């Protein structure tokens, strides 16, 4: 994620989020331990993450199970403190930023994957939207009803939705409410965890066009977790691909997907269903457990082009041409 070309002598622009060698290790019971023992083993959910998110970018965070993307999200939001490394928001550690009043919470809003679960079933939609409006003092009480109507309109819901309860809305409508609530605090960063997965393609299309227009109109910085490369390609300019707790490739979405540098990115690309392409040769085996990371490069056990030194060196994300980075000793593209 390099900076856009600047005028000479211009001060460097600080990224909104910066993660430096972030680690998150959970102590979990050692598998197969005897009944009364307290042996634990470290589950490295995040193992040396380097990430920088610039203001106004839309970033897709892509990974399969065990990649650590949900843990990464929690670190970005300040819900969990990383056990190692530094996680910064506008240059300040995220934990501190969160503790200092409500500015961080107002500025960074989240849309959950389980949109319905994230809404209080006993509150009307209007009350759900009013909560951030009041808490952050966005509008005076007189203007509240109007703002709620505006938010509902913005996400394509009828105004009378405000009187309804979440149980009376469909899955797609509930997602819209979740988006409306996130927007209520007028954030500059929107974080979404699989916000459009599990939906019909037509509902998904509706929500994606909504998100894209919102992002463009409001200049939001978007961090979008998804497993769907098509969604990432449509919605996000930049992409970060994760595998077993580390970001293994970043760069502009088109560049990375058209000419992947990391063999895992290439495998993901090939595995994504495409019209009438023959079914791809899948990656062999299963994703290793994060409890037992492979020696050397974490992808070496499944990599189709692994070489002998891949099992002894553990590559970290390094620059590869303009705006791209890869964590691979022998990348398959030199950008």
Return the residues of window 191-250 that contact another protein according to CB under 8 A. 200-206, 208-210, 212-214, 217, 227-231, 233-234
| Nearer of residues 13 and 159 to another protein, judged by Cβ | 159
Answer yes or no whether residue 139 interacts with another protein by CB under 8 A.
no
| Nearer of residues 21 and 131 to another protein, judged by Cβ | 131
Considering only 10-18, 21-29, 283-291, 319-327, which stretch makes contact with another protein by CB under 8 A?
A: 283-291
* Burial of 315: CB neighbours in 10 Å, binned 0-12, 13-18, 19+: buried
| Nearer of residues 16 and 199 to another protein, judged by Cβ | 199
| Spatial distance between the Cα atoms of 44 and 292, rounded to a whole number of angstroms | 9
Residue of 6, 258, 307, 312 that binds another protein (CB under 8 A):
258
Answer yes or no whether residue 157 interacts with another protein by CB under 8 A.
yes
Query: Token pair of 192, please?
Result: 């979404």
Interaction residues for another protein, span 118-137 (CB under 8 A): 118-123, 131-132, 135-136
Answer yes or no whether residue 273 interacts with another protein by CB under 8 A.
yes
| Spatial distance between the Cα atoms of 17 and 93, rounded to a whole number of angstroms | 10
Query: Shortest distance, CB of residue 313 to another protein, whole angstroms?
Result: 24
Alpha carbon 126 to its chain centroid, in Å, reads: 28
Residue of 29, 84, 117, 304 that binds another protein (CB under 8 A):
117
Continuous H helices in the chain? 69-77, 94-99, 103-107, 125-135, 144-154, 171-184, 201-218, 229-235, 253-258, 263-271
CA contacts within 13 A on the Cβ side of 262: 31
Interaction residues for another protein, span 48-77 (CB under 8 A): 64-65, 77
| Spatial distance between the Cα atoms of 283 and 264, rounded to a whole number of angstroms | 9
Q: Which residue has the tokens 């934990």?
A: 95
Tell me the backbone φ, ψ of residue 157, rounded to 5 degrees: -110, 145
Residue of 161, 223, 261, 317 that binds another protein (CB under 8 A):
161
Query: Shortest distance, CB of residue 167 to another protein, whole angstroms?
Result: 5
**H or E, element range at 189:** strand 189-193
For residue 111, give the 3-state DSSP assignment. Answer: strand
| Nearer of residues 20 and 127 to another protein, judged by Cβ | 127
| Nearer of residues 65 and 322 to another protein, judged by Cβ | 65
Considering only 16-24, 40-48, 171-179, 322-330, which stretch makes contact with another protein by CB under 8 A?
A: 171-179
Answer yes or no whether residue 32 interacts with another protein by CB under 8 A.
no
| Nearer of residues 26 and 136 to another protein, judged by Cβ | 136
Answer yes or no whether residue 101 interacts with another protein by CB under 8 A.
yes
Query: Token pair of 325, please?
Result: 């980075």
CA dihedral 76, 217, 127, 185 (to 10 degrees): 50
Considering only 17-25, 162-170, 244-252, 322-330, which stretch makes contact with another protein by CB under 8 A?
A: 162-170
| Nearer of residues 36 and 275 to another protein, judged by Cβ | 275
| Nearer of residues 36 and 276 to another protein, judged by Cβ | 276
Rg (CA), the chain: 21
């Amino acid at each position: 994620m390099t900076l856009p070309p600047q005028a000479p002598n211009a001060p460097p622009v600080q990224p909104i989020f910066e993660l430096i060698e972030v680690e998150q290790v959970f102590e979990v019971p050692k598998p197969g331990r005897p009944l009364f023992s307290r042996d634990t083993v470290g589950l490295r959910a995040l193992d040396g993450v380097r990430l920088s998110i610039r203001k106004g970018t839309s970033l897709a965070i892509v990974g399969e199970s065990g990649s650590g993307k949900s843990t990464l999200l929690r670190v970005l939001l300040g819900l969990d403190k990383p056990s190692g490394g530094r996680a910064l928001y506008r240059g300040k550690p995220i934990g501190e930023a969160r503790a200092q009043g409500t500015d961080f919470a107002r500025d960074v809003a989240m849309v959950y994957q389980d949109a319905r679960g994230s809404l209080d079933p006993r509150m009307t939609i209007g009350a759900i939207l009013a909560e951030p409006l009041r808490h952050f003092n966005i509008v005076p009480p007189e203007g509240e009803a109007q703002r709620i109507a505006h938010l509902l309109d913005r996400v394509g819901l009828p105004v009378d939705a405000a009187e309804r309860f979440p149980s009376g809305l469909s899955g797609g409508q509930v997602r819209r409410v979740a988006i409306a609530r996130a927007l209520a605090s007028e954030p500059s960063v929107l974080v979404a965890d699989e916000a459009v997965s599990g939906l019909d393609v037509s509902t998904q299309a509706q929500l994606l066009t909504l998100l894209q227009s919102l992002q463009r109109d409001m200049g939001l910085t978007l961090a979008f977790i998804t497993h769907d490369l098509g969604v990432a390609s449509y919605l996000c300019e930049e992409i970060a691909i994760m595998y077993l707790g580390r970001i293994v490739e970043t760069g502009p979405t088109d560049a990375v997907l058209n000419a992947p540098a990391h063999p895992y990115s290439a495998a993901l690309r090939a595995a994504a269903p495409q019209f009438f392409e023959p079914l791809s040769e899948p990656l062999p085996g299963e994703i290793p457990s994060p409890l037992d990371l492979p020696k050397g490069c974490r992808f070496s056990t499944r990599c189709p082009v692994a070489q002998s030194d891949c099992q002894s060196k553990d590559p970290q994300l390094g620059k590869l041409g303009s705006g791209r980075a890869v964590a691979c000793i022998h990348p398959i593209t030199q950008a």
